[in-house]
Amino acid sequence: MQKIVLQLVYCVAMRIVLRLFVGVRIKRATFLLHEKQFIIVANHNSHLDTMAIMASMPRQLIANVKPVAAMDHFGKTPLKTRLSNFFVNTLLIQRKRDKENPENDPIHSMIKALDQGYSLILFPEGTRGEAEVEQPLKPGVGLVLSQRPLVKYVPVYMKGMGKAMPKNDNLIVPHNATVVYGNPTAIASLEVRDIVNQVEQSLHSLRDAL
Amino acid sequence: MDKLLRLDLFEKPDLLIAIGSIYAILIFASLLFFIVGLIKPKANLAELKQRTKSWWVMATLFVGTTMFNSNISYVAIGMLSFVAFRELYSMLGFRFSDRRGVFWAFLSIPAQYYLAYIGWYGAFIIFIPVVMFLFLPLRLVLKGDTVGIVKSIGLLQWILMLTVFGLSHMAYLLSLPELPGFTNGGRGLLLFLVFLTEINDVMQFTWGKLLGKHKIVPKVSPNKTWEGFVGGLVSTSAIGYFLAFLTPLSGIQTLLLSFFLAISGFAGDIVMSSIKRDIGVKDTGSSIPGHGGILDRLDSLSYTAPVFFHIVYYLAY
C-alpha cells in the first residue's frame, strides 16, 4: 500500500509539480538500479531537496530508500511521525549521539536500516542552511560508512532549491533549480575524517562542474 | 462545448496551407542536413541537426496547442509566459525579501491571461503597465528592506513587461472580434506572427552565416551583421507579403507590417543578448536542445508580439 502511494506521489505527482511549476530540472537516476545499496549524500537548503531526490528515483527503488530526517522536527508529535514515515518514508533520528541507548543513537539507527537492506538519503550538512551557502559536513556520514565500507555513496548537488523554498519562509516561489548526480563511489579509507573529506570533495566537484 | 471542441481547422484552407508550408520547410531542412551530412561527412552539422529536431517539436507543440482549440491556447501561451518569467527571474538574482513581491508577480500571469480570455481590452492593456506597476513596489516596500530595493523594483516590472505583458498579446489575438469577410480570425494572425518571427530569426542567422562581414553591435552580439540583418529584413518582408492571406490586411500593409516585425525581432534578440552578456551566460537555460533556454527562442517574440498586435489593431480593428 505504502509503496503504491509513494510511487504515485513521487514518480508521478511530485515530478510534474517540480518540473512544471517549481522549475526543477530532474533527470531520472536510472543508473541507481544497478546498485544494490547506496547512501545518497546531498547538500541541503530546502525541504524541496528531499522531494526532488525522491522524484528522481526510479519507480522500483522508491520504497526502498529512506531519507534520514531529524526526530525533533519531523517527529514532534506522534501524528507528524506517522505522516513523515508514511508519505516521505523517513528514517527519523536524534540529532545528538546517545551511546548508552543504542535504540536512540542516530548512527546505530542508520546502520540498522542499512542492514535491513534500505538505502539512505543523507544531508550531512545537518540542518538546512541559508540559500546557496554551504556548511561544513557533520561526521555522521563518515561514521556510518566506516562501519559499512562496502556500501557506496552517491553525491548529489542541488542548486536553486533554497531560492524556491528557503528555510525561514514556507511559501514556494517558483525558481529554476537543478539536481545533478555524481557516480556511485566507494570510500577510499576507513578513517572517519578522510571519508568526510572525500564526500565533501565529491560534492565540490559536482558544484564546480555546474 | 461548441467552443471547446472546435475542429473546424480542416475547413480553413488558408490555415492548412500555412501549416503545410511550415512542415514542408522542416522536411526540406531535415533532408538538406541529412544529404549534406552524407556528401560531406566532415561538416559539423550536429548543432544544426539538433536545432532542426527541436524546431519539429516546437512547431508541433505550437500547432497542436493553438490551431485546434482556443481555450487550450490561452493556457498554453500563459504557461509559456510563466516559464519565461521564471527563467529570467531566476537568472537575474533577487533578494530574499523580494520573494513575496515576486509571488504576486507570478499571480498576475493567470490574471493577465484571464483578461485576454474574456477579451476585456481596457483592463488587459492596463493591468501590468498600470495596476502591477503601482502595486508591486508597494508590496516590496512593505517588507521593509530598502537595501537594493531600486534594482528589485525596476527588474521585476521589466521582467513582467517583457515576458508576460508582451507575450500575452499573442493570446489577445485570439480574442479579437470577428471581422466580416475574414474567416481565419485570431488563429490566422497568431500563425502569421509566430511563423514570421521565427523565419526572421532563421533568415538573419542564415544570411549572416553566408555573407556576414560588418558587425552591428560587436560588443553585444558578435554574430549580428548588417548583411544578416538586411537579408533577414528583405526575406521576411517578402515571405510576409505572400502570407498576407492569413491577415485581414492588404498586401502592401502586410509588407510594411512584416518590415516592422523583422526590425522588432532583431531588437528583441539583441536586448536579450545584452542581458546574457551582462550576467555572463551564453544561453538562458538548457530546456530546448540546440537552442538554449526558453528565452533564447522567445527573445524576438517578446518584442514582435506587441508591435505586431498594435499595428494590426490600429489598421484593421
**E strands present in A16-150:** 24-25, 38-42, 65-70, 91-93, 119-122
Determine the pLDDT at residue B70: 78
Average pLDDT value for residue range B130-148: 94
Question: What integer pLDDT is reported at residue B3 of this predicted model?
Answer: 55
Beta partners for B179? B182
Residue B205 has pLDDT above 70, yes or no: yes
Lowest mean pLDDT among A5-14, A94-103, A182-191: A94-103
Per 3-state DSSP, what percentage of chain B is helix, strand, and coil (rounded to 5)?
75, 0, 20
Q: Which of B41-50, B101-110, B295-304 ranks highest by mean pLDDT? A: B101-110
- Mutation target to probe the A interface, by most A beta carbons within 10 A, among B90, B139, B143 is B90
pLDDT band at A108 (very low <50, low <70, confident <90, very high): very high
Contact B90 A163 (CB under 8 A): yes
Mutation for testing the A interface, residue in B96, B97, B109, B140 having most A CBs under 10 Å: B96
CA B293 to CA B199: how far, in whole Å? 19
For an interface test with B, the pick among A19, A167, A176 (most B C-beta atoms closer than 10 Å) comes out as A176
pLDDT at B227 over 70: yes
Residues of A in contact with B102 (CB under 8 A): 173
Q: What ipTM score was computed for the predicted complex, to two decimals?
A: 0.88
Name every chain B residue with its beta carbon within 8 A of the beta carbon of A166: 96, 99
> What global pTM score does this model have?
0.91
A129 has pLDDT over 60: yes
- The dihedral through the CA atoms of B215, B217, B219, B223 has a sign that is negative
Residue A67 Cα, gap to closest chain B Cα (Å):
27
Average pLDDT over residues B119-141: 96
Asked if the model's pLDDT at residue B2 lies above 80, the reply is no
pLDDT at B6: 60
Task: Of A60-74, A118-132, B153-167, B248-262, give the lowest mean pLDDT range.
Answer: A118-132
Cell of A25: 530540472
- Residue B1 clears pLDDT 50, i.e. is over it: no
| Average pLDDT of chain B, as a whole number | 90
Contacts of A176 in chain B (CB under 8 A): 86-87, 90-91, 285
Order of strands, sheet of A119-122, starting from the edge strand that comes earlier in the sequence: A24-25, A177-181, A152-159, A38-42, A119-122, A65-70, A91-93
> Taking residues A34-46, what's their average pLDDT?
92
pLDDT surpasses 90 at B194 = yes
> C-alpha dihedral over B64, B70, B72, B78, to 10 degrees?
100
Rounded Cα–Cα distance for residues B46 and B52 (Å):
10
Give, in order, the Cα–Cα distances in Å from B222 to each of A54, A128, B135, B298.
43, 43, 39, 20
Q: For residue B4, what pLDDT is reported?
A: 55
B169-187 average pLDDT score:
90
On average, the pLDDT of chain A sits at 91
With a cut of 60, say whether residue B62 has pLDDT above it. yes
Please choose, from the candidates B167, B108, B115, B162, the residue with its C-alpha nearest in 3D space to the C-alpha of residue B139: B108
User: Smallest CA–CA separation between B275 and chain A, in Å?
Assistant: 18
Question: Smallest Cβ distance to B106: which of A160, A163, A173?
Answer: A173
Segment A79-95 shows an average pLDDT of 91
pLDDT at B83 over 80: yes
Cβ-nearest to B90 among A131, A166, A175:
A175
Mean local confidence (pLDDT), A157-184? 91
Instruction: List A41's β-bridge partners, or say none.
Output: A122, A155
Reply yes or no on whether the pLDDT at B260 is more than 80: yes
pLDDT of residue B86: 95
Residues of B in contact with A169 (CB under 8 A): 96, 99
Residues in A touching B87 (Cβ below 8 Å): 23, 176
pLDDT in tens, B234-253: 999 999 999 999 999 999 99
pLDDT at A103 over 70: yes
Q: Look at residues B232, B222, B221, B307 and name the one whose alpha carbon lies nearest to residue B270.
A: B221
Checking if the pLDDT of A159 tops 60, the result is yes
